[in-house]
A and B are shown apart, each in its own frame.
Chain A
Amino acid sequence: MKIMNCPLNGPRNISEFAYGGEVKPTPDAQAPTQEWADYVYYHANQPGILREWWLHVPTSYWFIAERDVTTDRIIATFKPEEVLR
């Protein structure tokens, strides 16, 4: 069984989590439409280690996980405030 460590709730079965996409900087509110379109619709989709948003569904708690998308190995998880300062 695959286990992920939720920063709020501790280790939990992977079935309790939902993927929320890559962590990437949000464009400025006045940024051109093209930049917003890239932000919303385009993803790097490259192999390697990525930071991603994940949701612990029973608590609706969003956090950030560092995951090797090639091997699907979860390297570390963080509270959002630890990453987005």
Chain B
Amino acid sequence: MQPRRQSFIAVPTDPCSGSLPALAMADFSLRPRLGFKGAGTADWLAAQGLSLPPEPNQSVKDDQGRLIARLSWGEFLLLGDFAALQSAWSFETAPLCFPLPRLHSHAWIVISGDAAPKMMAKICGVDLRAHKFAQGRIAQTSVARLNAIVIADRIRGRLGFHLLSDISTSQYLWDCLCDAMLEFDGAPVVLEALAKESHGQTDAQG
């Protein structure tokens, strides 16, 4: 019987050691995230004090390190703890702005390492090299033949990506990524190794 590949529970890196593989990948799927969609969404989010990216397929970070991604003129994906925003929303106060829960629809995988664009080139047709795909850019495209949202970011001071894809096929995607990163000395790590709380220099929030 063929041995099972690295799975979501594989944790080969000690988060306290401070060292990371050349290419590291962590599952952020248990971290909070949500979305809003509708013609009135940008106005309502701006009224809540959020700085929004001016164009679709761009993202910005707020002063808490949370990521605000604009997927289209009227659709936003918010990575991080936006519980206060969720509480503030209601049909009456947010006209033409509708919540789009993402916690159970999309898996969230974070990749960190300067070889990340090379690794992604094996499974994604979009040129994700840093000089073509700057920090904050978003590609909504196909990754390992799955629909996915790719967001460029600096994670622990290295090139990196947030990858969001349908949660029902996320084990397949995880296996594909594990396979693709082998030749770049990549490995899965525990979430804390890439999350903000455990490293001052880390950008990834959750």
Q: B-contacting residues of A (Cβ < 8 Å)?
A: 1, 8-9, 12-13, 15-16, 56-59, 61
Q: List the count of A-B residue pairs having beta carbons below 8 Å apart.
A: 30
Distance A9 CA – B71 CA, assembled complex (angstroms): 10
On chain A, the residues within 8 Å of B135 by CB distance are none
Most buried by A among B56, B57, B71, B125: B125
From DSSP, what is the main secondary structure of chain A's interface residues?
mixed
- Cβ contact within 8 Å between B142 and A59: no
Give per-residue flags for B139-158: 1 if the beta carbon is below 8 A from chain A beta carbons, else 0. Answer: 11110000111000000000
**Do the beta carbons of A58 and B148 come within 8 Å of each other?**
yes
B125–A9 touching, CB < 8 Å: no
Q: Is the CB of B125 within 8 A of A59?
A: no
| B72: interface (CB < 8 Å) | yes
CB within 8 Å of A: which B118-140 residues: 125-126, 139-140
Q: Which of B126, B147, B149 contacts A57 (CB 8 A)?
A: B147
In the bound complex, CA of A52 to CA of B55 (Å): 26
Chain B residues with CB under 8 Å of A8's CB are 56-57, 72
Interface of B is mostly: strand
Chain B residues closer than 8 Å to A61, beta-carbon distance? 72
Given A1-B125, A58-B148, A59-B72; A9-B142 close (CB under 8 Å):
no
Query: Roughly how many angstroms separate A56 CA and B140 CA in the complex, as a whole number?
Result: 9
Interchain CA distance A51-B142 in the complex, whole Å? 25
B149 contacts which chain A residues (CB < 8 A)?
Answer: 58
A13 CB contact (under 8 Å) in B56, B125, B140:
B125
Kindly report which residue of chain A lies nearest to residue B139, judged by CB atoms.
A9
Whether A16 contacts B56 by the Cβ 8 Å rule is: no
19 contacts between A and B (CB under 8 A): A1-B125, A8-B56, A8-B57, A8-B72, A9-B139, A9-B140, A12-B126, A13-B125, A13-B142, A15-B142, A16-B125, A16-B141, A16-B142, A56-B140, A57-B147, A58-B142, A58-B147, A58-B149, A61-B72
